[in-house]
Chain A
């Protein structure tokens, strides 16, 4: 095992910290997320480490509970987009012909409209709840994953070992899951990290616009929205959730970068 570089280590510790807070929010958070405790927009103090929000709730506690929702929704959406996108991408690459044409053109159409606009339209029509949010973000993101996995699988599908599997009479699922997937995994894993960050930013954006997580639940984007007026009075309340978003994005990115360089060097195994 080669040594883990410092940047990746920092990223892993921070990401781990965020995950820990999200999972054990009940024990980590000093107060409940909907308890009204102090005055409006109190400055950070020993009682309220990061101050209070627009109706006097503890910002730290809300951040910790908010991490749970933000990370859960982003993770679920990324998993959905990867399962869907990479399966369809591989299928398109292996089958080619009209299946490839239909899927690819469909993806082109979806990608030609900015995803935020599609999401806003869909969410203003649909009932907003966590499931709908996850599906909307996941499916929109799946188009990007489709593009990547199709390109990766195209390269692999022309290898002799895939041809050998076809000549052996193997079915589609063996070719996709046993021949192509293991060889496509490294770029996909690295992409997963990046896509997860995009999902975090996406859900935060939606919440900020009021079409994401609905009260009484809240996520970081929603918290920025609630507290944005505090900026006018020189209070830090809105900056805290924004900072949390940035920190999570950077730390996951550091880990993803490391995974990318590590796995891509393994590709040398192909040439021997």
Chain B
């Protein structure tokens, strides 16, 4: 069979404008070739900056943000589309090739009903009449498992959940009966329990409509469920290209092997001990509301150990962190820390309370002042809590930089000059500088690529060994939990539904929610998705 899409020696360039320097030409993608047949799915995988989205978008000869497709051929349905005029490309986009974006919430127009937007391209391109398009949209809504398919299109984007919106976007892409759909990280922004539904829906829709697809993601376990072939990209170059079974079970290149075996951290569970932090009977609500976001939470953390708080978004896990730090006033219950009862108000807490309880944020980008150097960021707690100055402070800053494995020459840099992983390391150093007894880690690895996240987790474990610091580790990622936790608390709608040591929590029998949560974590083997869908006990909350 002839290839639907065939890309040869693709070269993509862009112009970079580094501050204070003349513009530079940079090569984003170099020498990538791929083939895709009708009805097949090709997974494009790589970490951020690998050029996977750029390659994906090139299938409709589109370069995002000033990116130029400068070399190679992109032949779609037998003709090279790279040299086509904008007018010719407009006819092709949204008809032969369609696109599903990562954040459906940002991609939909909030002022228009869903139906209007789902059928827009089909009607615009004259593929079908309005009535036909609407009928097809309802059909697709049904196929994608959306509730009340007949009336679903009358809703506005804010009236449906994130997972449903992502499926509506898939319906939009499939509506004009395209030959090729580009999925750009369609499930990355969703909770694991929601992701699985969307994933299953997408997979089924692809199979039923016989469309070809490019599936872009950074999660190998996800792509293994939906694709026939996988291409691994790194720094704009192809690393490995092969059958899905071969990539997962017998990767040839070192980089692919690292991706497949990521999350291989083994962590011995520590014995229970007297707690350093006790949260007892905590109930809290946000000001001006009458809904408890935390309901009678009882957990504790032992010195030098890790308590992982797990749950999907909206389960109250970050709120718990805010209650412990005093940013949110609790209504009932109390928090005891290092033998002292912590005041509910942040302003009434002693300097030692503040020093010994540090926090690391999910987004290292916004957690550091972009106008302060790394030296200032790490040095401030030293100065503030310990009164260190001059050479002594500089020495301590360097010690801390060594501890986070960053070495010399970083103290004078600004956050913008660091990579994502380095930024998070600096945040860890800032927390460490205060010599804390407990660090609250709020989704510290969620925004990072898997290999980088792995490095951060290893660092945290090493530091825990050296400094005997306890972690309150908030995450939605169960693989991370397995890697780092001593105790686990599973939260669901503001309540702790399961709590105990790691082995207790992760050993059956499970309650329904924990079962769903555990089953939803993508596993890196073929056929996992079908198994889970067939066996699970309850629907996800976001559904």
Q: Which residue of B lies closest to A158 (CB)?
A: B366
**Cβ of A164 and Cβ of B361 under 8 Å apart?**
yes
Residues of chain A within 8 A (CB-CB) of B415 are: 269, 272
B434: chain A residues within 8 A (beta carbon): 168
Whether A168 and B384, one on each chain, are in contact in the complex, defined by CB atoms closer than 8 angstroms, is yes
The answer for the CA separation of A27 and B361 in the assembled complex, in Å, is: 61
Is B19 on the interface with A (CB-CB < 8 A)?
Answer: yes
* CB atoms of A167 and B423 under 8 A apart: no
Interfacial chain B residues near A271, Cβ < 8 Å = 365, 416
A167 near B359 with CB under 8 A, answer yes
Q: Is A34 an interface residue (CB 8 A)?
A: no
Chain A residues within an 8 Å CB radius of B325: 167
Q: A272 to chain B: closest CB distance in Å? A: 5
* Contact across chains for A269 and B354 when beta carbons are under 8 A apart: no
Does B351 interact with chain A (Cβ within 8 Å)? Answer: yes
B370 near A183 with CB under 8 A, answer: yes
A167 near B346: Cβ-Cβ < 8 Å? yes
User: Please, how many angstroms separate the alpha-carbon atoms of A167 and B371 in the complex?
Assistant: 19
Beyond A182-B371, A269-B370, A269-B414, is A168–B380 a contact (Cβ under 8 Å)? yes
> B437 → chain A, closest Cβ, in Å?
15
**Which residues from chain A contact B17 at a C-beta distance below 8 Å?**
265
B327 close to A (CB within 8 Å):
yes
Q: Are A270 and B416 in contact (CB under 8 A)?
A: yes
Q: Write the chain B residue with the least CB distance to A266.
A: B19
Residue of A nearest to B416 (CB): A269
User: Hey, which chain A residues are within 8 Å of B384, CB to CB?
Assistant: 168-170
CB distance from B385 to the nearest CB of A (A): 8
- How many chain B residues sit at the interface, stated as a range, is 20 to 34
Contact between B370 and A164, CB atoms less than 8 A apart = no
Name B370's contact: one of A163, A166, A270 (CB within 8 Å).
A270
Contact B370 A167, beta carbon cutoff 8 Å:
no
Among residues of B, the one whose C-beta sits closest to the C-beta of A179 is B369
Inter-chain contacts of B368 with A (CB < 8 A): 161
Q: Is A127 an interface residue (CB 8 A)?
A: no
Residue B363 lies at the interface, judged by CB distance under 8 Å to chain A: yes
B250 within 8 A of A: no
Is B20 an interface position by the 8 A CB rule? yes
Query: If A265-B19, A269-B416, A270-B416 touch, does A161 touch B366 (CB 8 Å cutoff)?
Result: yes
Instruction: With CB as the reference atom, state the residue of chain A lying closest to B415.
Output: A272
Docked Cα-Cα span, A170 to B372, in Å, equals 16
Contact indicator A161/B369 (Cβ below 8 Å) = yes
In A11-34, which residues have CB < 8 Å from any B CB? none
B residues 426-444 near A (Cβ < 8 Å) are 430, 434
Q: A106: shortest Cβ distance to chain B, in Å?
A: 25
**What is the distance, in angstroms, from B325's C-beta to the closest C-beta of chain A?**
6
- Which one of B346, B366, B380 has the greatest number of beta carbons of chain A within 10 Å? B366
Selected from A178, A268, A272, the residue in CB contact (under 8 A) with B423 is A272
Chain B residues, CB < 8 A from A161: 366-369
B20 A2 Cβ-Cβ under 8 A: yes
Q: Which residues of A lie under 8 Å from residue B369 when comparing CB positions? A: 161, 178-179, 182-183
Best-surrounded residue of A170, A183, A266, A272 (most CB of chain B within 10 A): A272
Q: Indicate with 1 or 0, residue by residue over B370-406, a CB within 8 angstroms of chain A CB atoms.
A: 1110000000110010000000000000000000000
A169 in contact with B327 (CB, 8 Å): no
Pairwise interchain contact A270-B414, C-beta atoms closer than 8 A: no
- Give the Cβ gap from A49 to chain B, nearest Cβ, in Å: 43
Contact residues of B between 310 and 369, Cβ < 8 Å to A? 325, 327, 346, 349, 351, 354-355, 358-359, 361, 363, 365-369
Q: What is the CA–CA distance of A2 and B415 in the complex, to the nearest angstrom?
A: 22
Q: How far does the alpha carbon of A161 sit from the alpha carbon of B354 in the complex, in Å?
A: 15
Is residue B124 within 8 Å, beta carbon to beta carbon, of the partner chain?
Answer: no
Q: Which residues of B contact A272 (CB under 8 A)?
A: 365, 415-416, 418, 420, 423
Residue of A nearest to B423 (CB): A272
Residue A159 lies at the interface, judged by CB distance under 8 Å to chain B: yes
| Neighbour of A160 across the interface among B354, B366, B416, CB < 8 A | B366
Residues of B near A166 (CB, < 8 A) are: 327, 346
- CA A113 to CA B346, docked complex, whole Å: 40
Given A168-B380, A183-B371, verify A160-B20 contact (CB < 8 Å): no
A1 CB within 8 Å of chain B: yes
B366 touches A159 (CB 8 A): yes
Per-position binary interface string of chain A over residues 252-272, scored 1 when its CB falls under 8 Å from any chain B CB and 0 otherwise: 000000000000011011111
Q: Which residues of A contact B (CB under 8 A)?
A: 1-2, 159-161, 163-164, 166-170, 178-179, 182-183, 265-266, 268-272
Residues of B at the A interface (CB closer than 8 Å) are 17, 19-20, 325, 327, 346, 349, 351, 354-355, 358-359, 361, 363, 365-372, 380-381, 384, 414-416, 418, 420, 423, 430, 434
Report 8 cross-chain contacts, Cβ distance below 8 Å, ordered by A residue. Answer: A1-B20, A164-B430, A168-B434, A182-B372, A265-B17, A269-B415, A269-B416, A272-B416
The 4 closest A-B pairs by CB, nearest first: A182-B371, A269-B416, A160-B367, A169-B354
